[in-house]
Amino acid sequence: MKTGRGRASAPLQGVKVVELARILAGPWAGQLFADLGAQVIKVESPAGDDTRGWGPPFVTYADGSEDAAYFHAANRGKDSVVADFATAEGQAKVLELLQDADVLIENFKVGGLVKFGLDYQTLKQRYPKLIYCSITGFGQDGPYSQRAGYDFIIQAMSGIMDVTGESDGPPQKIGVAYADILTGLYAAIGIQAALIQRQATGLGQHIDMALFDVMVGTLANQALNCLVSGESPHRIGNAHPNIAPYQSFQCKDGWIVVAVGNDQQFQRFAELIDIQLLEEWRTNKGRVEDRHALAAAISRRLSHWDCARLLLALEENGIPGGPINSISEALSDPQIMYRRMITEHIADDGTALPGLRCPIVFSDAELAEGKGAPRRGRQ
Determine whether 368 is exposed, middle or buried from the number of CB atoms within 10 Å of its CB (0-12, 13-18, 19+). buried
Instruction: Give strand pairing partners of 105.
Output: 19, 133
Sequential pLDDT tens for the chain (379 residues): 444 444 579 999 999 999 999 999 999 999 999 999 999 999 999 999 999 999 999 999 988 999 999 999 999 999 999 999 999 999 999 999 999 999 999 999 999 999 999 999 999 999 999 999 999 999 999 999 999 999 999 999 999 999 999 999 999 999 999 999 999 999 999 999 999 999 999 999 999 999 999 999 999 999 999 999 999 999 999 999 999 999 999 999 999 999 999 999 999 999 999 999 999 999 999 999 999 999 999 999 999 999 999 999 999 999 999 999 999 999 999 999 999 999 998 888 888 889 999 999 999 999 999 899 999 988 7
Q: Residue 307, SS3?
A: helix
Residue 247 one-letter amino acid: Q
For 197-233, b/e burial (b = at least 16 CB within 10 A) is ebeeeeebbbbbbbbbbbbbebbeebeebeeeeeeeb
Q: What is the CA radius of gyration of the chain?
A: 24
Catalytic residue among 49, 180, 263, 364: 180
Alpha carbons 77 and 91: distance in angstroms, whole number: 24
- Tell me the residue length of the chain: 379
pLDDT value, residue 62: 87
Active site includes 180? yes
pLDDT value, residue 226: 97
Alpha carbons 234 and 119: distance in angstroms, whole number: 41
First to last CA, the chain: 31
What are the phi and psi torsion angles at 16 (to 5°)? Answer: -115, 130
